[in-house]
Homo-oligomer: A and B are copies of this chain.
Amino acid sequence: MDVNEGAADPYGEDAWSIRLDHVFSDVFEREVRVFTVGSGTAANAISIACATPPWGAVLCHREAHIECDEGGAPEFYSGGAKLVLLDGEAARVTPEALREGVGRSARSIHAVTPSVLSVSQATERGAVYTREQLAALCDLARAAGLSVHVDGARFANAVAALGCSPAEISWRAGVDLLSLGATKNGALAAEAIVCFDARFAEEIARRRKRGGHLLCKGRYAAAQLLAYVEDGLWLRLATRANALAARLGEAAGPMLSVPVETNQVFIKPGVEGLARLRAAGVRYYDWGREGTGEVRLVVSWNQDERDVDAMCALLASLGGAGR
């Protein structure tokens, strides 16, 4: 409500927007540039477009959000770069897969040029990269001439899960660009592109404008991001959601299909089990193809604990671990 008082300069020249760089530089323990956008898709696509030429390859996991859920936004913003898909458990890219992917597209003028590695932290399966895992990937990427982008739509949950500093799993590990999500963790509509490599900053600004993501009244987005990080709110919300998810994971017992590391819980009650969930009033959509019998439960930043209790009971009744 504060930010709604009075007038302010437009297009990022207001006091809130101006503070963003400073506040995020504190959070990340080094000078960074921050650019607000309205969606994770925009944050990812703009970041990636700055790190690959149109004839480049973006290496990412087969289940990455940028591959599966952004309607081709990375291809659009980059002018037609190709996403080269990598394997790995729990949507986590492995060093072997990265090596293979680089080799796959690096042969000649006839192939696309490997240009950027994009990993999700936490992953689309709720897993996290440890600091060491991430640094190892970044080292490999660097050696192959790639920049590194992190899709951090759920970055807060990863930081909370790892108990590390934001710096440790970003620039200190070798990350160049971070899409830092806030919307899935409490904001109305605000995501940040955090730029650790100054050479990308001007291009991000230009691509953001050109994509229609430079807002006239930028203070409303900036205020959300400031409130999000300034007193640690982001990590408190994420820690709580992670903890509730852990309870769901325990309750799911043998139905659990991926170990719970953050606030996403993947269970496989089977087609029949799912029908019983639905009968009990649970709304869901099939994870992946229909008929796999798997669903994803995501604990919201403001989830009522009683919801979790109720779901735990339901899971127990389906053959989970009981309570």
Interface residues of chain A, those whose CB is within 8 Å of chain B, are: 4, 7, 11, 37-43, 45-46, 53-56, 68-73, 75-76, 78-83, 85, 103-104, 109-113, 183-184, 188-189, 203, 205-207, 209-217, 220-221, 289, 300
Copy tally for this chain in the complex stands at 4
Which of B189, B289, B300 makes the CB contact (< 8 A) with A216? Answer: B189
Chain B residue numbers with a CB within 8 Å of A68 are 110-111
Chain B residue numbers with a CB within 8 Å of A189 are 38, 215-217, 220-221
Known: A68-B111, A216-B189. Contact between A209 and B82, CB under 8 A? no
Asked whether A54 lies within 8 Å of B70 as measured between CB atoms, the reply is no
Which of B112, B183, B212 makes the CB contact (< 8 A) with A213? Answer: B212
Chain B residue numbers with a CB within 8 Å of A209 are 41, 55, 70-71, 73, 109-110
Asked whether B38 lies within 8 Å of A73 as measured between CB atoms, the reply is no
Chain B residue numbers with a CB within 8 Å of A289 are 103-104
Asked whether A210 lies within 8 Å of B110 as measured between CB atoms, the reply is no
Top 3 A-B residue pairs of the complex, sorted by shortest distance between their CB atoms? A42-B212, A75-B80, A71-B209
Q: How far is the CB of A257 from chain B (nearest CB, A)?
A: 19
**Chain B residue nearest to A300 in the complex (CB):** B7
Chain B residue numbers with a CB within 8 Å of A183 are 216-217
Asked whether B39 lies within 8 Å of A213 as measured between CB atoms, the reply is yes
Enumerate 13 A-B pairs (CB-CB under 8 Å) in ascending A order: A4-B188, A11-B110, A37-B212, A39-B212, A40-B216, A41-B209, A54-B79, A55-B209, A72-B80, A72-B81, A76-B80, A79-B80, A189-B221
**Chain B residue nearest to A70 in the complex (CB):** B110
Known: A189-B221, A217-B183. Contact between A211 and B73, CB under 8 A? yes
Known: A41-B212, A76-B54, A80-B76. Contact between A188 and B206, CB under 8 A? no
**Chain B residue nearest to A105 in the complex (CB):** B68
Asked whether A207 lies within 8 Å of B55 as measured between CB atoms, the reply is yes
Rounded to whole angstroms, the CA-CA distance of A76 and B80 in the bound complex is: 5
